[in-house]
Amino acid sequence: MSIAPTPKMQARGLRIGFYNERIKKRLNVLDGIDLSVAEGELVCIVGPSGCGKSTFLGAVDGLTRIDGGDVLIDGHAVTAPGPDRAMVFQHDSLFPWRTVLQNVVYGIEIQNSMSKADMNDRGRQLVELVGLKGFEDHFPHELSGGMRQRVNIARALAPDPELLLLDEPFAALDAQTREFMQVELLKILNRAKKTALFITHQIDEAIFLSNRVAVFSARPAKVKEIVEIDLPKERSLALKHEPRFRDLQAYIWRLIEEESARTGLVTAS
């Protein structure tokens, strides 16, 4: 009998809540989340607004205190942030006084784990990986929004994390750039051979990027359903017009609509 490999990331019975001292009331956010991500997989998390998606990602990163259950990376419990995980946020937060290359190598620099020559070699490789060769010496204000987010992704990849965590990284981009960045992200992760957890409010984005989509329920959140994305591995934007893609989109929207109806945001039909 073959033994199933250890998941790259595993959340087991994860519970998180916050006490609001001002109103003397506890808010339960996550109520027993069970979710695993395999090596090399990209899993997207969607759900009603305010259901705790970013809270979950913060717990995986070790930034958010856990009340119950646990999070494991390669079988080891997460107790704090670590170099085996890297977060990409909605806003690029690049240092405006640093060049592209200097921004990319920042994480390695503060770890003091490489010589300056090796660090810059690593940085240049990543700049090329994200399609920005020739822009190493440019400053953030000289780049477009999509280019800055590529720098942000390269910076996250620089310390060579085991798991990349992306919290709506394309939300601040215009619609056209966002579509192109979805294609670019798949290329980048495939070349870098990385495992990723991705949060988005865009259902088509989740389907296009994912191996699986985890749909969170309304707060306090559980995993309502995990939807297998049975689409070709090689993906272009034309895939979004295919009948199977549209069927998946309608199905996931319906799951979220059911949960939103529980919160009173919409009326289920």
Taking only the tens place, the pLDDT of each residue in 135-160 is 999 999 999 999 999 999 999 999 99
Domain boundary among the residues 114, 137, 160 is at 160
Assess whether 112 and 236 both reside in one domain.
no
What is the chain's length?
A: 269
Percentage of residues in the chain with pLDDT exceeding 90? 82
Assess whether 109 and 128 both reside in one domain.
yes
Helices vs. strands in the chain: H and E counts, helices first: 8, 10
Assess whether 123 and 240 both reside in one domain.
no
Would residue 152 count as lying in a domain? yes
248: domain CATH number is 3.40.50.300
Domain boundary among the residues 142, 160, 178 is at 160
Contacts of residue 51, defined as CB under 8 A and 6 or more positions apart, other chains included, come to 216, 217, 218, 219, 221, 259
Q: What is the number of structural domains in the chain?
A: 2
Would residue 186 count as lying in a domain? no
Task: Give the residue with greater pLDDT, 27 vs 222.
Answer: 222
Would residue 180 count as lying in a domain? no
Task: Report the chain's mean pLDDT, rounded to a whole number.
Answer: 92
Q: Kindly list the distances between the CA atom of residue 229 and the CA atoms of 4, 26, 190, 246, in Å, as whole numbers in the listed order.
A: 21, 36, 17, 12
Assess whether 60 and 30 both reside in one domain.
yes
Assess whether 77 and 205 both reside in one domain.
yes
- Mean pLDDT of the 173-195 span: 93
Would residue 268 count as lying in a domain? yes
Angle at the Cα of 220 (from 218 to 223), degrees rounded to 5? 65
Distance CA 249, CA 200 (A): 14
Assess whether 213 and 148 both reside in one domain.
no
Assess whether 51 and 22 both reside in one domain.
yes
The answer to whether the bond into 220 is cis (omega within 30° of 0) is: yes
CB 83 within 8 A of CB 111: yes
Q: Which residues share a beta bridge with 163?
A: 85, 195
End-to-end alpha-carbon separation of the chain, Å? 47
Distance CA 189, CA 202 (A): 20
pLDDT digits (tens, 9 = 90+) for 6-17: 799 999 999 999
Distance CA 95, CA 139 (A): 9
Assess whether 62 and 113 both reside in one domain.
no
Would residue 114 count as lying in a domain? yes
Assess whether 226 and 269 both reside in one domain.
yes
Assess whether 1 and 79 both reside in one domain.
yes
Distance CA 190, CA 187 (A): 5
Domain boundary among the residues 160, 183, 215 is at 160
Would residue 178 count as lying in a domain? no
Distance CA 76, CA 68 (A): 16
Would residue 176 count as lying in a domain? no
- Which pLDDT score is estimated for 19? 82
Percentage of residues in the chain with pLDDT exceeding 70? 96
What residues make up the domain containing 13? 1-84+164-170+192-269
Per DSSP, the residues of 70-112 read EEEETTEE--S--TTEEEE-SS----TTS-HHHHHTHHHHHHT
Assess whether 76 and 203 both reside in one domain.
yes
Assess whether 80 and 18 both reside in one domain.
yes
pLDDT digits (tens, 9 = 90+) for 99-148: 999 999 998 888 877 888 999 999 999 999 999 999 999 999 999 999 99
- Residue 40: strand, helix, or coil: coil
Would residue 179 count as lying in a domain? no
Pairing assessment for the beta strands 212-216 and 42-46 based on DSSP bridges: parallel
Amino acid letter, residue 200: T
